[in-house]
Structure 1
Amino acid sequence: MATDHGQGYGHDSGFGHDSGFGHDSGFGFPGDAGERRRRLPAGLRAPFEARSWREFGYVLLSLPVSILLFTYAVTMLSLGVGLLVTFLGIPVLAAGLAGCRGFGALERARARALLGLEVADPEPLRMRKSGLMAWMGAVLKSGTSWRNLLYAVLQLPWAAFSFGVAVAFWTYGWALLTYPLWFWLFPLYGGQGGLQLYGDDRHQVYLDNAFEITVTALVGLLFTLASPWIVRALTTVDRLLVHGLLGPSRLSARVVELESDRGVVVDTAAADLRRIERDLHDGAQARLVALAMDLGLAKEKLAEDPQAAARMVDEAHGEVKTALQELRDLARGIHPAVLTDRGLDAALSAVASRCTVPVQVEVDLAERPAAAIEGIAYFTVSELLQNISKHARATSAAVDVWRAEDRLMLQVVDDGVGGADVSGGSGLAGLAGRLGAVDGVLVVDSPVGGPTRVTAELPWRR
């Protein structure tokens, strides 16, 4: 190794993208060359992938963005807290938190563009009244505002650390890898043999011969190949910060889910009431009105034509039986007495007996679930068996019910033509919505040609 003057190893930063997010479109390799590059192992092609460069760009931008955000957040927070002894502290603090919410929206957009990280917007401000005071109160009470402020404080130290590590690895890697291309600059312009590794008053160590230059390039290759994965690991922490502090909280997401489920329950109840009203109006009520008219006519004919009156009374008797059967069917559709008295086993057996195909029912429950869950399970199986009767063209079916820890499991299987789909507007979609309203799940496995297997999971809640 000869003597020369040079700089130490710079540093390198690879650009990574989130695993599972983004795409691997490299640059500078058109046509078949790009296809050959994509067939390379991931470790070799990572430095040339667009996802790696986007991640590196995210790390580079994080430092100036975090400095701006940290300065704004700390300034507004300090000013607001300091002015709390006067009324001015409240609007200043509210304005600072509102600004942090705005920065949070920009950070979510930056993470979406460069990291491929999809984070839902947090819940909006909840204001019972309109006006400036109501807005300030909503901002100060919002957990999202304070989580955005915490993000502004925490991001700066992490951004500085990741910036230093990423830039160091990236610079060292590419500088050493390309050293064979530019080492001649030292003897030509610096009067030294090559890149200096060590130097004091007596000794200087330079990289100036072919072997040393080759080893330097190989070390640079290792740094270059490692840099994208190091940056990817660094941006994993950024993803956690963005997702955990700038997205919706679990509690708020749960509140939104419950509000949606409540809407489903209300809509379902309203639809059931409309169905009951329609069935009563078009069925039993119409028959009872006709029955009253027939009995009135029979009463008028009783004196002058007893035989005709007797026939009319006999017809009215048949109408009474039909109306009673319709009322029984309607009551069974609301809540069957057999379910209340004897539980799911007997109730589902009764439903299976009315199916157009043979149905094997097996209920393995040591105790009964909550009454509401039991009713939902009953109507779920009833609707699935009706679908089998109407659409499946099956020759047999089976119903299994069992308990798995704190969940009630239902499974309905048929050997029909299959092709069932949980899509908008279908009966299965409505059924899935009803189950979802009580934290239930509906899974449909129905390939074309069959068989169809529908599994429902409900909370036990006992």
Structure 2
Amino acid sequence: MATAYGPDTRDPQRSGGGMENRLAAKRFLPAALRAPVEARTWREFVYLMLSFPISTVLFCFAITMASLSAGLLITFLGIPLLAAGLAACRGLGVLERARARALLKLDVAEPAPVRGRTGGLMSWVGAVLKSGVSWRHLLYTLLHFPWAVFAFCVSLSLWTWGWAALTYPVYAWVFPAYAGIDGVQLYGDSTHNVYLDSPFELALTSAVGLVVVMATAWVIRGLAAVDRLMVSGLLGPSRLATRVTELESDRGVVVDTAAADLRRIERDLHDGAQARLVALAMDLGLAKEKLTDDPEAAAKMVDEAHGEVKVALQELRDLARGIHPAVLTDRGLDAALSAIASRCTVPVTVEVDLASRPAQAIEGIAYFTVSELLQNVSKHARATRASVDVWRSADRLMLQVTDNGRGGADLTAGSGLAGLTERLDAVDGILVVESPAGGPTKVTAELPWRG
């Protein structure tokens, strides 16, 4: 498994340097100060402003469709009309997901299309009515309208008032020049009037506006977060459908991994033990022919064949250990991982804190995960020491391999760690890599216990 350890080799003078400068500028200002002027806040504000008219149209359509369909249920027309309305809601959901993707940066997967079993009209109507996704789209159009009205009023009122107060010193001169009053009137009756016109009052108004603007930026983000929940929860695929898709993908990874392992075993047998056994059979055949004519040459050839037998047996043992080590089956992870550590090129300390053993399949995955990570340490990390820690946390098996090497390990596509991540994903596992340039490197794997 080849993993590209090492420092980042990108040229800081290229486009990445500009990004780093912008990130440094962002880190210079606190989040509370830069939030009102960040693009994210303005995108979310635009989203909330658009939600009011859009949700009004969707709500009116949904109410009209539902009431008309309910009124026509006594006739045959009510059922296909309801299905058509639900299908239209699904179509409007496509626009809502696109709007959320553009303004909220929320990428929600498209739900599976509705397909009837027989392909006819009534089959399609039945499939639409049975689809939970269709009803969730209808529910979204009904629930989003009151929320959109509330979010529109709150965000627009606070945002406009805050910016108006913040910039009041800039346009305060307009009131005495064109309106005939000293400034914005706070109070007025038949006896006296109160205006914001003194320098202190202008500064105080601007300060209050600044506080409101900064607070409103986070209010807008909070309101947009609710919209994110509604879009992802009601307009995306169901959790069951998502889980089925993940399992299908994981099954493909497992099948590909198993096929690759079988090809590796076949190649190792063909190029290793099989080739040696064929050569051994030829040597023994020659020795048999020379047994009567040249006993000394025959004895020498038998001695060489004996050495070949030992080498072939060792290769078969190594191959069997690579498939599933006997020490793992007989004595568990502690002994098996200690055996791996003893073969590493750097000193490795192993700490296994397990009161019982997980499922055999999980044990095997944990063993090979640590084996590949230690191979990385030996080949690429340039470390002087490493450690392996194994423990149980609730219903999860935790593995952690740490080294003091040069760091720079990456999970990008094409690296060995990416392939290891896919293998762990196939059993609902997680791989987390912390490897800054210069080290140290810490790789944590989490597997289901399934004991």
Range into which the TM-score falls when normalised by the shorter chain:
0.7 to 0.9
Q: How many residues align?
A: 416
1:76 aligns with: 65
Q: CA deviation at 1:88?
A: 4.2
Look up the equivalent residue of 1:181 and give its one-letter code: V
Find the partner of 2:90 among 101, 104, 108. Answer: 101
Question: Which one has a bigger Cα radius of gyration?
Answer: 1
Partners of 1:213 and 1:434 lie apart in 2 by: 68
CA deviation after TM superposition for structure 1 residue 343, in Å: 0.8
AA partner of residue 444 (structure 2) = T
Quote how far apart the aligned CAs of 1:102 are.
1.8
Which whole-Å CA distance do the structure 2 matches of 1:331 and 1:208 have between them? 92
Distance (whole Å) between structure 1 residues aligned to residue 147 and residue 97 of structure 2:
17
Which residue does 2:112 correspond to in 1? 124
Moved more, 90-99 or 146-155: 90-99
Q: Would you say the 8 A contact 1:345–1:363 is kept in 2? A: yes
1:295 to 284, 290, 314: 284
User: Is 1:275 matched up with 2:264?
Assistant: yes
Tell me the SS of whatever aligns to 2:350: strand
2:331 match:
342
- What is the Cα deviation at residue 351 of structure 1? 1.8
Return the offset for 1:273. Answer: 1.0
Residues 166/442 of structure 1: CA separation in 2 closer, same or farther (3 Å cut)? closer
Structure 2 equivalent of residue 325 of structure 1? 314
Structure 2 counterparts to residues 128-207 of structure 1, below 5 A:
131-133=119-121, 135-169=124-158, 181-182=174-175, 207=193
The 5 A counterparts of 1:42-53 are: 42=32, 46=36, 53=42
Q: Distance in 1 between matches of 2:44 and 2:375?
A: 53
Question: Once superposed, what is the RMSD of the aligned Cα atoms?
Answer: 3.7
Tell which deviates more after alignment, 95-104 or 337-346: 95-104
CA drift of 1:435 comes to 1.6
Contact 1:125/1:139 (<8 A) preserved: no
2-structure distance, mates of 1:268, 1:346: 26
Corresponding residue for residue 351 of structure 2: 362
Distance (whole Å) between structure 1 residues aligned to residue 120 and residue 192 of structure 2: 69
The one-character-per-residue Cα deviations of 1:331-388 (angstroms, maximum 9, x if unpaired) are 1111111111111111122222222333222222221111111111111111122222
Cα–Cα, structure 1 residues 84 and 304, in superposed 2: closer, same or farther, change >3 Å? Answer: farther
Tell me the alpha carbon deviations over residues 203-252 of structure 1, each in whole angstroms, 9 at most, x when there is no partner.
Answer: 75885767699979966984786364455554443333223322344443
| C-alpha distance in 2 between matches for 1:165 and 1:143 | 32
Cα deviation 1:395-422 (Å, max 9, x = unaligned): 3332222222322222223333433322
Change (3 A) 1:45 1:153: closer
Q: Which string of whole-angstrom CA distances, capped at 9 and with x for unpartnered residues, describes residues 149-198 of structure 1? A: 1110112222233334445556666788567624776669xxxx997978
| Gap change, CA 1:289 and 1:39, over 3 Å in 2 | closer
- TM-score in terms of structure 2 length: 0.78
User: Identity over the aligned pairs, expressed in percent?
Assistant: 66
Counterpart in the other structure of 1:310: 299
The corresponding residue for 2:441 is 452
Most deviating of 411-420 and 217-226: 217-226
The structure-2 alpha-carbon separation of the partners of 1:428 and 1:162, relative to structure 1 and needing over 3 Å to count, comes to closer
Q: Quick one: structure 1 residues 418 and 42, their matched pair in 2 at CA, closer, same or farther if it must change by over 3 Å?
A: closer
Is the aligned partner of 1:406 residue 2:395? yes
Report if the CA contact (8 A) 1:400-1:412 is conserved. Answer: yes
TM superposition shift of 1:75: 2.6
Give ranges in structure 2 of 5+ residues lacking alignment. 1-24
1:225 to 1:111, Cα distance in 2 relative to 1, 3 A: farther
Q: What is the alpha-carbon distance in structure 2 between the residues aligned to residue 45 and residue 394 of structure 1?
A: 43
Corresponding residue number in structure 1 for 2:245: 256
Is the Cα contact below 8 Å between 2:354 and 2:390 reproduced in 1? yes
1:266 aligns with one of 255, 263, 266: 255
Judged with a 3 Å threshold, the aligned counterparts in structure 2 of structure 1 residues 450 and 304 are, in CA distance, closer, same or farther, namely same
1:353 equivalent to 2:336? Answer: no
Q: Is the 8 A contact 2:106 2:228 kept in 1?
A: no
How has the CA–CA distance of structure 1 residues 40 and 435 changed in structure 2, closer, same or farther, with 3 Å as cutoff?
closer
